[in-house]
Chains A and B, each alone.
Chain A
């Protein structure tokens, strides 16, 4: 196997994909099938030499939203039983998987020997999700000075950075390259029972008021909210598409918010990402984090 050539192929292929996809990902747009064809042509042009295990790339074709990587293999070549796992690993290491996932591009590897197909590996874009849904150790925030007397704990996403919040009401912040999750506490006007809060939230005008207040620091467009339950407490959850200006640059991001109504407090949980194509996947992770919230005191 010619490792140097393989690495060169990976680098050039990744560069080609990144250059083409970067602007689309930033805008949160899906590229067209015609543009996927252009990517295929670019990769074919730059992909000279051998890939791993002595396979030699012949060309890359695009059919619909599927890229076909066609390889020639030598006589002794056999498809490894772990081929799919290894290919996904390589795509993750090179950073390419995130692009295929975000742009909903499936990939198919076709191995030929003297013009005859001797092996194929199909990878759906959903299999290339860059988001890990594991959670870290539970953090007890009961005695936190910004918890306002609330007793609760929460698990951060696995391997995300856990920091103290910077604002007066921000208890903690979890962050990674793909997003940020913040925990905020606020005082309510008075005590309300769970039933009273549910009744209150059944009023669309009240829901809108809470949602607008929660994202008042940003320029946001609200999507429809709904009332759910988090560890037995009524909770308003909603999505918002927002933008904020930072040193003259407008940054777009999407947020998923939860406002948990707890006695005379509100626990506000907000997950956000600027990778708009990744948002739906990140939303699932944020939901897993919210599901880890526990108010143990209610059972004392």
Chain B
């Protein structure tokens, strides 16, 4: 059986079988070696370990205590995050994960994307369902390089204006955005806007609940969304909100 080794914090770890390796605290950038490799090689560059390097992204909510560094950032800002981790299937494995080191504010940049379109449609659809949220005085919806750091955190969007009716402040990860299809983009935007405009919290879901929920934080589940499912999910969320008002 093949044995695998990797380097963590400067020291060699292993040997591990392939199944053991899958459960280790490794990332796409982790240097791995096994008999047959000339030198330590990044996981993402090893063809036979491609499966590990590209495991499905998991939704990750920093407010739930994962991703310490970023959690602090979010805690300070009083924000709600829509986030997922790539390559880390087990939440317990992520507890000591290095958080993003780059300030998101430094990485904000303008790219041609009509976020205003999502905003106006959100207000339109809210009004259609009898919800008339106040217009925020400040509206910021921008791309920011949320994944430009060494850690594996992969954040799709951040809403920073929750519980502040005068502020909509949303940052979207451009690399995630580029990979999303149309329903997925609507889901991300309406999710973040629902945080900031309607002050909606995340909705919890369990394995038995396969319903597509707009405010469910596990983004990986949204990948199979159709536009019809997106529409049903936001209508359900808006209708529930309207009933509570």
Contacts and interface: CB of A to CB of B under 8 A. Distances in A.
Interface of A: 149, 151, 189-196, 263-264, 297-298, 300
B232 A300 contact: no
A297 B128 contact: no
Given A189-B128, A297-B182, A264 B228 contact: no
B226 interface: yes
B226 A191 contact: no
Contacts of B232: 193
B95 interface: no
Contact of A190 (B128, B181, B227): B128
Q: Is the interface of B mostly helix, strand, loop or mixed?
A: helix
Interface in B128-183: 128-129, 181-182
Q: Is the interface of A mostly helix, strand, loop or mixed?
A: loop
A194 B228 contact: yes
B182 A193 contact: no
Given A149-B117, A193-B232, A263 B227 contact: yes
Contacts of A191: 121, 125, 227, 231, 234-235
Given A190-B128, A191-B231, A194-B228, A264 B181 contact: no
Nearest to A187: B124
Interface residues of B, number: 15
A194 B232 CA distance: 11
17 contacts: A149-B117, A151-B182, A189-B128, A190-B125, A190-B128, A191-B121, A191-B125, A191-B227, A191-B231, A191-B234, A193-B232, A194-B228, A195-B228, A196-B231, A263-B227, A298-B227, A300-B181
Contact of A264 (B121, B129, B182, B226): B121
A30 B245 CA distance: 66
A190 B239 CA distance: 14
Contact of B231 (A151, A189, A192, A297): A192
Contacts of B234: 191
A143 B117 CA distance: 15
Nearest to B234: A191
Nearest to B186: A191
A263 B181 contact: no
A149 B185 CA distance: 14
B125 A300 contact: no
Contacts of A190: 124-125, 128-129
B129 to A, nearest CB: 8
B231 A300 contact: no
